[in-house]
Structure 1
Amino acid sequence: MLGIYYTNAWDAKSQPFMSTRLRSENGKPYPVAEVFTGGVLNQEALAKYGIPRLTGSFAYAMFMANAAIGALIAHCFLFWGGDVVRAYKSSREGRHDDRHHAHMAKHYKEAPWWWYIALLVLSFVLGLIVVTTQHITLPAWAYVVSLLLGIFIAPLSTLLYSRYGNGIATNNLSKMLAGLILPERPIGNMYFAAWSHNVISNAVNLSNDLKMGEYLKIPPRVMFLTQVYGTILGGFINYAVMISIVNGNRDLLVNSDGNSSWSGATLQSYNTNATSWALAKYLYKTGARYALVPIGLAIGFGMVAVHRVIAHFVPKIRNFSLYDVNLPQFIQYAGYIPYNASQTCVLFSQIIAGFFVQFYLRNYRPRIFKDYSYLVTGAFDGASLAALFILSFAVFGAGGPSVPFPKWWGNNVDGYYDLCPAPE
């Protein structure tokens, strides 16, 4: 990122560095609402306001995010393809290589397949009703394509998450494909990406729940019904909280990159991607930064292919196995900050927590690590979320006026705590 800025790559110095918003050529925010009337491109307005620009940091982040997607696809097929085939064959033969699953299969009734099929049909019909009645500029056939794309990526993301407890953001691929098949429709692009990405994210999260249910010996049918209940309840709660936050902080979220409490940058990056891909055929004529996105997919795939060849001939370096290297995650986090606009103090807190558990407890308190590490990390998670919920409504203005803490050198009340990105 420093190299991009100081070499002025993609005219990086002409735009506010690390901003995730779509920009005009003069560096000001791009008037998306005027250019897209009713969610469809207005050619006269485009001619008036010109082609939008991206900051150099955001273009780099888009490239790295797509390279990570290409690497994910390659890694799953080239490194784990054999494991998947063996697992599929053992399942077909009724063999259970996992003792937890074998215990559950022996003592509890599995949720019938028709339960899943019925839920799939119901969900598909509800989504189809939204697409055909709510004027979201997304045709029904594109809705089906978005689901098929999610169905293809979901097993790959689930496989990575099951191995590492972490995933790869794949919604950039959805937005790119939507921009190609639905040009000049940013709202349709966002809905396409949302449908596709939710197939992936829910597959990962619900599979995680099912596996946790096996560890805790929760009957599969009970877990299935609990997931349905939790998803429906969570949908209403998430909607209510989101509406409260957006209504209370609309100007901050829409007209800036956010502050230390509310990151409008993440929402703006979603909007920026959808809008820029809706203008893909115009943008490719103006600069190479947009061509970097599909190139990123190919480069990520190629890097993993080279890694696989090297690991085949040099499987270990001393005691370190090259098969343990996971390039998709290395690549993703090499471009993580400008794409997600994460405050570096947040990442620092995550590193401290990981260092405490994986270094201190593992090496110096092995009994606690072995018996209680899951409880310790669960306590971290639950306590931080509880504190965040209370602070959001009591201090940060989620449901009313905010009550900021006093300003001092460690509390930048006018922006991000780490002073980055700089105020515009």
Structure 2
Amino acid sequence: MCFKVYGYISMTQALTFIQDFKLGLYMKIPPRSMYLAQVVGTLVAVLVYTGTAWWLMVDIPHLCDKYLLPDDSQWTCPMDRVFFDASVIWGLVGPRRMFGDLGEYSAINWFFLVGAITPFFVWLATKAFPAQKWISQIHFPVILGATSMMPPAMAVNFTSWCIVAFIFGHFVFKYKREWWTKYNYVLSGGLDAGTAFMTILIFLALGRRGIGLAWWGNADDSKNCGLASCPTAKGVVTQGCPVF
């Protein structure tokens, strides 16, 4: 886990900071001010995150343990569970026993080849059908890269993403080009910021009072598939699960 924190997380944070710089450049914010805001924000976030995590661990029994928490509990910590599971896979178990010749998921390595050649097929399609301008808008690195968020995400996260992206990436871009050029990038940042603000607002207004919002958009997808938590290793016997 420490290797992942200092390796992978450092890289993702650096990419996030670069995205912030891109947005700041778009909004004509001086780079020095952007950098200072990032440094101050990082220091504040460390203190707030640590204090909040400590507070949650003390005040919420069985935090992140979905087997001991109530069925309607929102404290299952999907992102943290994925982070921990990935640390176990790459550290305790080892990649060879997961994705190598000793593992059950060695076929996943073929996706490195798939990711490398799919843009080439898009290029061939643009040459074969030059009249179809929409083909050039297919960006497989974005499509495949988004799947990295699938483990903790629910189906509604991706369906809503596809709908919003199609509306603003196709209809607005085609019929309201000036609006798209001026506001689309700001809209993207606004949607991200709005999600964060609404999360805090819902928690302060409802979550602290024990009021939950249960609807199809935030339902636990794992409950729709009873076999999702079954082991896939050969010969492992678990009640209610098939044996491979």
Partner of 2:93: 279
Gaps of 5+ in 1: 1-189
List gaps (5 residues or longer) in structure 2: 230-244
Q: CA deviation at 1:329?
A: 3.9
TM-score (norm 2): 0.68
Contact in 2 for aligned 1:412/1:419 (Cα 8 Å): no
CA contact (8 A) 1:343 1:420 kept: no
98, 104, 108: which is aligned to 1:289? 104
Match of 2:193 in 1: 382
Shift of 1:244: 3.3
For the aligned residue pairs, the C-alpha RMSD in angstroms reads: 4.0
Residue type of the alignment partner of 2:212 = P
User: For 1:253, what is the secondary structure of its paired residue?
Assistant: coil
Tell me the distance in 2 between the aligned counterparts of 1:272 and 1:260: 21
- Do structure 1's residue 268 and structure 2's residue 72 form an aligned pair? no
**Amino acid corresponding to residue 381 of structure 1 in structure 2:** D
Report the Cα distance in structure 1 between the residues aligned to 2:113 and 2:216, rounded to whole angstroms: 44
- May I ask how many residue pairs the two structures share in their alignment? 222
Q: Secondary structure at the match of 1:254?
A: coil
Q: What SS does the corresponding residue of 1:251 show, helix, strand or coil?
A: coil
Equivalent residue for 1:254?
65
1:346 aligns with 2:157: yes
2:211 alignment partner, one of 403, 407, 412: 403
Distance 1:375 1:357 in 2: 12
TM-score, length of structure 1 as denominator length: 0.43
> Per the alignment, in what secondary structure is the counterpart of residue 212 of structure 2?
coil
Q: Is the contact made by 1:411 and 1:417 (CA closer than 8 Å) also made in structure 2?
A: no
1:325 Cα shift?
4.9
Query: Deviations along 1:255-289, whole A, 9 cap, x unmatched?
Result: 44986734433322222222234133994799631
Q: Distance in 2 between matches of 1:217 and 1:412?
A: 37
| Aligned equivalent of 1:303 | 114
3-state SS of paired residue (2:220)? coil
Computing the radius of gyration from Cα coordinates, the structure with the larger value is 1
Identity among equivalent positions (%) equals 16
Question: CA separation in 2, counterparts of 1:287 and 1:255?
Answer: 30
> Compared with structure 1, are the counterparts of its residues 347 and 324 closer, same or farther at alpha carbon in structure 2 (3 Å cutoff)?
closer
Letter in 2 for 1:289: E
Q: Give the match for residue 318 of structure 1.
A: 129
Secondary structure, in 3 states, of the residue corresponding to 2:74?
A: coil
Of structures 1 and 2, the one with the larger relative CO (CA 8 A, separation 6+) is 1
